[in-house]
Amino acid sequence: MNSPRMLVAAGTVLALGLLAGCGDDEPAGGPTPDTTASSGVATDSATAAPTGDASSPPANDAAAVPVYYVGTTPQGARLYREFTQASGADRLVTAAAALTGGAPVDPDYRTLWPQGRFGSVTATADAIEVEVTDGSWLERGALKPRQAQLAVQQLVYSLQGVVGERLPLRVNYEGRPAATLLGVDVGEGLTAAPELDVLALVNVTEPAEGTAVGGTFTATGRASSFEATVIWEIQDSSGTPVLEGSTTAEGWVDKLYPWTVEVDAGELAPGSYTFVARTDDPSGGEGGGPTEDTKRITIR
């Protein structure tokens, strides 16, 4: 990106539903972006993700925007990525609005952000700048310290995921640099926390929550699992596994890596199911058990 791009949220924030509230959880975060759209803002696709994630947004849709929400894992609260649609609004505006005024599609996810909106989001060659208009957002409020840090990572990873770079975030209030955001020190800018400290260790990109699939479909996502092994299964409406298997991610140990698998569900009757991906757990549950991500699907 060679020139500043002002992406003003005021008056263009999506009419999204109210986001879920906070719980007594611990922090987490992480991005995944790529190619440059005609607007000059990077999209989340398959060529240059800073985090090593080569998976594409659903249906390779250039309007798909990555948003990081909070979910429960054996390691405490961590961030899961979900895609939303820009629907004519700017992609940075959409990502910020989804955190503070929308609702995740997956019912297992939530946000820690208070309802409201940012004044503006600006991407330049060396930073992403957000303008806070509500002074209460500078304080932690009812959030616990670790919740506040996790909420800040939601914002960092979501906006970095849109631009496709690990640009630091700068926070302004009333036109001047802010010292805090949700009580977190932002005086020297905000950066993404290490993936293995804040991201859920497995995440499903496709199939997306609530989608319909054919008898054969491709499942994709990211994971950091023992020996890169990702376990998957399909459960029927009672939660009973009716099909299962495993696949291998492109790596493990230091961060999350892409995984993909072709699922042949042709012998299953059409109807409602749940696709589950989880990390391998050679400890037999001693470490708290595997991390998993579930998506409700309909097999046509």
Identify which has the larger pLDDT, 188 or 5: 188
Are the C-beta atoms of residues 29 and 157 closer than 8 Å to each other? yes
pLDDT band at 58 (very low <50, low <70, confident <90, very high): low
Q: In the predicted model, what is the mean pLDDT of residues 272-291?
A: 89
Pairing outcome for strands 211-213 and 292-299? parallel
Residue 41 pLDDT > 50, yes or no? no
Other beta carbons within 10 Å of 214: 10
Other beta carbons within 10 Å of 246: 15
pLDDT in tens, 80-138: 999 999 887 799 999 999 999 999 999 999 999 999 999 999 899 999 999 999 999 99
pLDDT in tens, 214-241: 999 999 999 999 999 999 999 999 999 9
Q: In the predicted model, what is the mean pLDDT of residues 49-55?
A: 40
Query: What pLDDT is stored for residue 110 in this prediction?
Result: 98
Strands (E) in the chain, as ranges, are 5-8, 64-73, 76-85, 120-123, 128-132, 169-173, 176-177, 180-181, 184-185, 202-206, 211-213, 216-223, 229-235, 241-248, 257-264, 271-279, 292-299
Q: What is the mean pLDDT of the chain?
A: 83
Query: What pLDDT is stored for residue 57 in this prediction?
Result: 58
pLDDT in tens, 149-159: 999 999 999 99
**Which domains are present in the chain?**
5-198 (no CATH), 202-299 (2.60.40.10)
Q: In the predicted model, what is the mean pLDDT of residues 7-23?
A: 31
Residue 189 pLDDT > 50, yes or no? yes
User: In the chain, pLDDT over 70 holds for what percent of residues?
Assistant: 79
Query: What pLDDT is stored for residue 60 in this prediction?
Result: 52
Residue 145 pLDDT > 50, yes or no? yes
Query: What pLDDT is stored for residue 16 in this prediction?
Result: 31
Residue 19 pLDDT > 50, yes or no? no
SS3 content of the chain, % helix, strand, coil (to 5): 15, 35, 50
pLDDT band at 62 (very low <50, low <70, confident <90, very high): low
